[in-house]
Structure 1
């Protein structure tokens, strides 16, 4: 019995170390995205500190405007870090690069995901979600196609009327045909999708301008590529929010977002995805941080970066 207790204690010790061997990382941009990728880190998920004196880790080289807005980084099934980003306000594709250490990056690639659509006005805020079951990646983004979805067309916000589109890939070399991912019946941008048990959760922005919504909502699906449910009620408050990114701490969900009219970041927390608490006053973020994503690395990986 004594030997069993010793083994149990050893197991629990290693489990605790494994749980602590995690650093939260935040990829983001500043200004208009001209200077490139910025990274911040946190040990508790609330207090964030910029790395490299808030200087960029990677400068944009592809696309019409050569911007690096909305950088989304995930760790793939191959253990590498994969990043996509918005390259331009009006281009028909997105940027892509990969890295094994977040410092040294591959050559940047322009993926022309909307090139086939003559009326496509933009390709904004792409994200990647990995499906470990099918071992495929889904890249998804918001696009306005002129004349499409006239039932929600307005003149405000430069007449943008977005829906979510996607492609899938297993190697970032070949891609499926572009398809419509989500039409919630309103102008939608900034989707971010994570797995929760047997279902997928889409955090999204209702971009409706008349009457103004500009809030975050949830939709659910059994499969990564959908179909997704009707969007629920707003989970954010009486302010304009965009660019949601999710951090999981056990049963606790933390959703960070850009309060872009207030020039600051906000955060809400929940344990059931139904009731949400505003925890914006508990977080601290690097000055000027804009729309990005949260992912994790190990202490060993962090030591090499720092």
Structure 2
């Protein structure tokens, strides 16, 4: 009997050890191992703040500014400013679009101008891979609206019923001499042409509505397939089972403790932006605290159609990064998309190129020409040293304030030129960083496709020349500094 008990005990211990080993060694999915989230946004007023910025998060709550905190795209058309962007992915993942408000406050436009006689256009970019973007174009969406004064805060959602996009935005059509923004919509398949705009959301009387965003909710969560959050004095929550069907008001977020100016609650936020956590049945609704200049903060819920379930996360449970993040769009990334985005826009610090023989001068661009000038600290003299466009072990110089534009030689002269994606451009914009020709502790930059030539300045202009003299060696030597 004791032997039997001893044997049973041994078996029991072995089983426990086996179970313990299985518990310990079973792989646990870490949140950071899954693809993360991409936020497209603007940062504030002025020509620099009203451009396209990207941030990345592994968990949807802690955000890192990409591209060293600099814009990834800059509008060169319309008002030359962009706000309120939406990031749209085609159902098959083969195309992406950015659609944004054509608006530049404090850089040529006042709020009164933009409200009463603003741009009727949206700014649109297109991409096949989320990192290489077309030149922007203007899409006139409000020109066909009688007495339509502007076009703000665009959004778009794929409609599976009609196999195209419902594009919706706010336009001011005055009522009884007062402004009245309401939401219009049109259909589009390519963001180049649209159907005739129709009223989508029109609040009673003089109540205005500028911001709204729709999220599709999985079956089994709440009673509605679609939920939209709208900034119409507070954040109003509505539900529907069809994008263009009947919407039911479910409540608002005025009671959850969002503080605005003068102690008011729930009424001083705008720009609702949805995000679904990929690892659990929980959503974040990001809200822009415009009244206190606070930028985005999240509220969370397990049921978007139940306003009473929204909660403000505990202090310290989220971090928005360095840049202020304002009215934008969040995309759940695939692994391939995340890899491409993080490779294209790492947080590479901005650098300057200091001349060796004129040490008070730095390489800078002006009107897209390139030269060395004295004591330049502006973004015109700041570049990101990217991995060379044409080959490994090389560098290319991307402008900080004109993202997508690189130092490129043509006929041995230098200009700042937008990357057109061609092999010729890549070769012309690629250099080998070698020991300085005048001082080995500095650097010189040898042309990739003309290896007998180096970047040098001549009469303060940047050129690509053979170097044969002591003066040339000094002209072709630079120091990479912060």
Match of 1:138 in 2: 166
- CA shift for structure 1 position 303: 2.4
Instruction: Tell which deviates more after alignment, 259-268 or 274-283.
Output: 274-283
Distance 1:280 1:144, change over 3 A: farther
- CA shift for structure 1 position 62: 2.5
Q: Report the Cα distance in structure 2 between the residues aligned to 1:229 and 1:161, rounded to whole angstroms.
A: 22
Match of 1:56 in 2: 71
- CA shift for structure 1 position 118: 4.5
- CA shift for structure 1 position 33: 6.3
Alignment of 1:195-274 (within 5 A): 195-196=216-217, 197=219, 199-206=225-232, 214-230=233-249, 232-234=251-253, 237-239=258-260, 240-249=268-277, 250-264=280-294, 265-273=296-304, 274=306
- CA shift for structure 1 position 17: 9.3
Q: Say if 1:77 and 1:135, in contact at 8 Å, map to a contact too.
A: no
1:32 paired with 2:45, answer: yes
Q: Report the Cα distance in structure 1 between the residues aligned to 2:231 and 2:318, rounded to whole angstroms.
A: 21
For 1:52-94, what per-residue CA distance to the aligned partner results, in whole angstroms no more than 9, with x for missing partners?
A: 001111111222x121101110211241221100002311121
Match of 1:4 in 2: none
> 1:85 aligns to what SS in structure 2?
strand
Alignment of 1:73-112 (within 5 A): 73-79=87-93, 80-88=95-103, 89=114, 90-112=118-140
Match of 2:191 in 1: 172
Runs of 4+ residues deviating >4 angstroms:
16-20
Instruction: Tell which deviates more after alignment, 269-278 or 31-40.
Output: 31-40
Q: Report the Cα distance in structure 1 between the residues aligned to 2:91 and 2:32, rounded to whole angstroms.
A: 20
Match of 2:340 in 1: 304
Give the paired residue count.
Answer: 277
User: What are structure 1's unaligned runs of at least 5 residues?
Assistant: 1-12, 154-158, 207-213
- CA shift for structure 1 position 200: 1.4
1:160 paired with 2:179, answer: yes
Q: Report the Cα distance in structure 1 between the residues aligned to 2:43 and 2:74, rounded to whole angstroms.
A: 12
Q: Report the Cα distance in structure 2 between the residues aligned to 1:47 and 1:17, rounded to whole angstroms.
A: 15
For 1:229-281, what per-residue CA distance to the aligned partner results, in whole angstroms no more than 9, with x for missing partners?
A: 23623355342100011111232111111101222222111112321111163
TM-score by length of 1: 0.82
Q: Say if 1:32 and 1:67, in contact at 8 Å, map to a contact too.
A: no
Q: Say if 1:218 and 1:232, in contact at 8 Å, map to a contact too.
A: yes
Distance 1:19 1:174, change over 3 A: farther
Q: Report the Cα distance in structure 2 between the residues aligned to 1:165 and 1:33, rounded to whole angstroms.
A: 27
TM-score by length of 2: 0.54
For 1:278, which of 312, 316, 323 is the aligned residue?
A: 312
User: What are structure 2's unaligned runs of at least 5 residues?
Assistant: 1-25, 104-113, 261-267, 343-482
Larger Rg: 2
- CA shift for structure 1 position 141: 0.7
Distance 1:280 1:135, change over 3 A: farther
For 1:292, which of 328, 331, 356 is the aligned residue?
A: 328
- CA shift for structure 1 position 104: 1.3
Match of 2:215 in 1: 194
The CA RMSD measured in Å over matched residues stands at 2.5
Q: Say if 1:37 and 1:56, in contact at 8 Å, map to a contact too.
A: yes
Distance 1:58 1:66, change over 3 A: same
- CA shift for structure 1 position 224: 0.8
Q: Say if 2:144 and 2:196, in contact at 8 Å, map to a contact too.
A: no
